[in-house]
Structures are given as C-alpha cells and as structure tokens.
Amino acid sequence: SAPPCTLVVFGAGGDLTKRLLMPALYNLAGSGLLSEELIILGLDRLDHTDGSWAAALTETMESFTHDATAEFHAAQIDPRAWNWVRSRLRYLKVDFQDSAAYATFGSRLRGNVVFYLAVAARFFGPIVTQLGAAGLLKEQAGAFRRVVIEKPFGSDLPSAQALNREILAAADEHQVYRIDHFLGKETVQSILAIRFANSIFEPIWNHAHIDHVQITAAETVGVEQRGAFYEPTGALRDMVPNHMFQLLCMAAMELPETLQAEAVRSAKARLAEAVLPIQPEDAVRGQYTAGRVLGQDVRAYREEPRVAPDSRTETYVALRLAVDTPRWAGVPFYLRTGKYLATRHTEIAVQFKPSPHHLFAGAAGSNLMRLQIDPEQGAELRFDVKVPGPEMRLGCATMAFRYGDIFPQRPYVGYETLLYDCMVGDATLFQRADNIEAGWAAVQPLLDAWRSGEPEFYAAGSTGPAGADALLGRDGRSWLPLA
C-alpha cells in the first residue's frame, strides 16, 4: 500500500473533489491500497467543520448509487470502505490568497505531504509560490512534498512556459505531478504494453507498414454549464495539446530504455518535440448549431449559457500533423475532437498499408488496428480472409478484445492510479514540463491564426463539419465512421 501521508486538497468544496477524488479514494480504500495513517485535509473558503465536510461528501457519494450518468456509478456504497475514508477527513477554512493561512495550516503538517490543487487554473502558480514561501515544499528527513496540478496548464506556449517557471521557482520538477486524466484511462496505459510487450506489433509500427493514424475523441456532451470556461478556451486548447497529444505520444513514441518514469517521459517528450508546428491549412475548426444528440433536441453553442451570441469559439477541431522522426517519415496523423457529435468514441486507429504485392488484386488493404479507449475499452484488429465458396474472394474479419470480458474490474473513475502513483512517487503517468510545452508549441500557429476568422458550423449530433472530411479527402483518405 501507499506510504503514510497527508493529502491536502485545495478546493475541498469543489466539483472535482466530489466527483472524482473522493470516489477514487474510496475505491483505493476498498482495494486496501492506502496507508492506515493517511489523513485527507480539505482546504477551501467555505464554512465547514470536519463533520459537515464529511457529511456533504457522504451525501454526494450516496447520490452516485442512483446517478447512472456520473463518472462513478456504484450500485451500493460499501460502508466499510467509505467509513475508512470518512474517518480520515479533516477540514480547514482557508483563503488561498492569504499568505498567513499557509503558515497556519502548514504547522499541522508533518512528514509526507501531497498537495492536490483541485482549483481553478489561475490559482496554480500563486498557491505553489505560497507553499514554497512558507517552506512547505522542503523535503526533510526523507519525507516527500509533492504538488499535483490539474488542467488546464496554460492557455498557449508563453503562458505554459511562464507557469512552469513560476512553479519550478518554488518546487523541483521531481515534486511536480501535472495531471492529464487521459493517462489514467486503462487502455491508454495499455498502449505501451500492447506495442512493446508483444513481438508482432513493434516490427511493423513504422512508415514502411503504416499508411496513417487517426486519433478521435468524439463526445456526445455539449459545453453544458461551462460556457464561461469554454468561451476563451475552445476545443483546441481544451483537448489537443494535452489529451490528444498524450494519446499521440503513447501511440507513436520510441521504445523507452526502461519503464522508469524519466525514461518513459523522455521518450514521450522527444516525440512531442518532433511534431512539426501545425499549419492553419492543415486544420479545421467547427462550432455546433442546434440539432439532435442521442434522441434529444439540443441548442446551438451560441445559445448556451454564458456564451456570446456571436461567439467564434470552436467546439470541434480536426487536423493533420507530421512527426519528424525516421519512424514516421511521410505518415500523416489525423486528430479530431468535438462536442455534441453523433457518438461518444475515443480511439487511436492505425491504418496499415495494403499488401505490397498484387496477388490479390482489389485487396483494399484492410489491416486496421483500433485501440479503443472510451466507451469501449479494448482493441480490434481487422484483416482480410477468403469468403467461403468456390471463388477466391476477400472479405473483412475483425478480432476483438474487450477488457471487461477478460479482466472484470470494479468501476473505476480513472483517478485511482493517478492518486496512488503520486503517493508512491511514480511520475510515469504525469506530464513533465517539456512535454507540456512541446504540445503547446505544436499548436501555437493555430492559436495565432484562429484569433481571426470563423469556425465552420456543424449540426449537433452530426459527425462534424464538412471541412474535416475535405481535409482527409485532399489526401485521398477518409475518416473512419464514428461508430
């Protein structure tokens, strides 16, 4: 189990704490992975006592038993595991901007501490600076002090660089755990195993055999109540340099020398740095208009709460990028993500080239490997077979693997591994400063270009704007159907 520590949660009254951190701690407690000496110290500006904070969290935990749409849906909360967490909850009312407060709660901290910043992004830099100034990040007598930072990390390359500078002035890189929750998803973590633990994939995982790669993160949710956040953000900033680039790195990185965090993170950073800056002519932005999603009528983005009626913010992005390494010479990577699309579907699809000899004239080259992340979790491999009958005709067959069929698991929210890893000090699934900055550097030309111009409209519930199809059509290719 994890070593003894105090988990200090900044933003104890916030949504992330309720929806993800507490269910994740509960699941970890249920699996016996936490230290008996764990203390969870919640900090926020709200008036709470230890007891009233615990009571509020108990209520939300219980609501998950009848909310099938929550990230965490439990048929029943196991009272033993929840009481275990509950008995360790402590609360302090703190104003994060008040430097005197840091000395006050800091005096309660001994030994190992993980500071979890479940707060709005504007507080990341100031909180880390204050923690540093109060001496709370000093690692003494073998005890660790770590800071977990949520997303969004910057809003462009200069702001991400400035935030890294600010954080690294107070903490050492080894103390900083930058979260990208896509790395907490099981199949994302499995990509390394699939690619490198099997001898049949790695030899063909390159430009000699791969025609192109499609990475999709299609959502059926709209912007919901997040208009104020989403308006200055848009789909590009929200999804591409972070989540989609993490998928890209996992799918395309070179073999790391070891599975140690630094080796894996260096391999990923090298890949991200090899992405050529994406040019505006290689990208398409879209914005949803009213439509029907999963049988429900939904309004246009411009009519969403706290969204400008003439907003130019994109809710969809498709782009083509190139990775400038010998492995990927000439192989395009196509990325697309959007809100209110026809289906929820996150995957990496690797399209192999057709067979080089023409024994089977007309063979379409159907070899396709799909690494499925959400909502299915698994992998599929498509290949040609002979259609039964007297003639030699080809048909397409698919081998499919579903995680749940082979490895039944309790419902995880995706934060369990990440929380556990920052307690045990494994930074493999966290983003290093160079990786984050490389993501922003690659999309910076689009951020610059998209200060003007308009997104293309697409109907909510469709597969995205026509321009996205044209982007691939230009290369004689098409998107896989959003199935």
Annotated binding site for NADP(+), which residues? 45, 95-96, 151
Q: Does 421 bind ligand BG6 (CB under 6 A)?
A: no
Please identify, using beta-carbon distances, which residue of 346 and 367 lies nearer to ligand BG6: 346
CB of 151 to ligand BG6, least distance (A): 5
CB of 480 to ligand BG6, least distance (A): 18
238 binds ligand BG6 (CB under 6 A): yes
Min separation Cβ 337 and ligand BG6, Å: 9
Please, what is the minimum distance in Å from the beta carbon of residue 61 to ligand BG6? 20
What residue ranges in 251-293 does DSSP mark as E strands? 283-289, 291-293
- Minimum CB separation of residue 400 from ligand BG6 in Å reads 21
CB of 229 to ligand BG6, least distance (A): 8
Size of the site for ligand BG6 (CB under 6 A): 5
Query: Looking at 66, 73, 212, 243, which residue is catalytic?
Result: 243
| CB-nearer residue toward ligand BG6: 175 or 431 | 431
Report the SS3 class of residue 41.
strand
For 405-452, the three-class secondary structure string (H helix, E strand, C coil) is HHCCCCCCCCCHHHHHHHHHCCCCCCECHHHHHHHHHHHHHHHHHCCC
Rounded distance between C-alpha atoms, residue 157 and residue 135, angstroms = 29
**According to CB under 6 A, which residues from 329 to 348 bind ligand BG6?**
346
Rounded to whole angstroms, the Cα distance separating 221 from 40 reads 32
Task: Please identify, using beta-carbon distances, which residue of 6 and 220 lies nearer to ligand BG6.
Answer: 220
Closer residue to ligand BG6 in complex, CB, 375/404: 375
Please count the residues of the chain.
483
Strands 378-386 and 394-402: antiparallel
Residue 23 in contact with residue 72, Cβ under 8 Å? Answer: yes
Q: DSSP string covering 229-255, please?
A: HHTTTHHHHHHIIIIIHHHHHHHHPPP
Q: Report the C-alpha gap between 39 and 5 in whole angstroms.
A: 7
- Cα dihedral 359, 360, 363, 367 in deg (nearest 10): -70
> Is residue 151 close enough to count as binding ligand BG6 by CB under 6 A?
yes
Q: Round to whole Å and give the CA distance between 424 and 63.
A: 30
461 neighbors 292 (Cβ within 8 angstroms): yes
Q: In the block, which residue shows the tokens 């038993």?
A: 65
- Contact call for residues 336 and 317 (beta carbons, < 8 A): yes
Of positions 219, 314, 347, 376, contacts ligand BG6 by CB under 6 A:
219
Question: Which residues lie below 8 Å from residue 165, measured CB to CB, with a gap of 6+?
Answer: none
- C-beta of 238 vs 437, nearer to ligand BG6: 238
What residue numbers does the annotated binding site for substrate cover?
181, 185, 219, 238, 339
Q: Please enumerate, by residue number, every residue annotated as part of a binding site.
A: 45, 95-96, 151, 181, 185, 219, 238, 339
Q: Supply the DSSP symbol for 19.
A: I
> Is 207 a catalytic site residue?
no
Under rule CB under 6 A, residue 374 binds ligand BG6: yes
Collapse the DSSP code of 280 into the 3-class scheme (helix H, G, I; strand E, B; otherwise coil) and give the result.
helix
Please give the residues from 432 up to 451 whose contact with ligand BG6 meets the rule CB under 6 A: none
Tokens encoding 63: 């609501």
> Cα dihedral angle (197, 215, 177, 315), rounded to 10 degrees?
-170
Judged by beta carbon, residue 109 or residue 217, the one nearer ligand BG6 is 217
Rounded Cα gap, residues 114 and 343, in angstroms: 37
Under rule CB under 6 A, residue 186 binds ligand BG6 = no
- To ligand BG6, the closest distance from the beta carbon of 316 in angstroms equals 12
Give me the residue whose beta carbon is nearest to ligand BG6.
Answer: 238
151 or 209: CB nearest ligand BG6: 151
Structure tokens at 186: 């099981």
Q: Residues interacting with ligand BG6, by CB under 6 A?
A: 151, 219, 238, 346, 374
- Residues with a catalytic annotation lie at 243
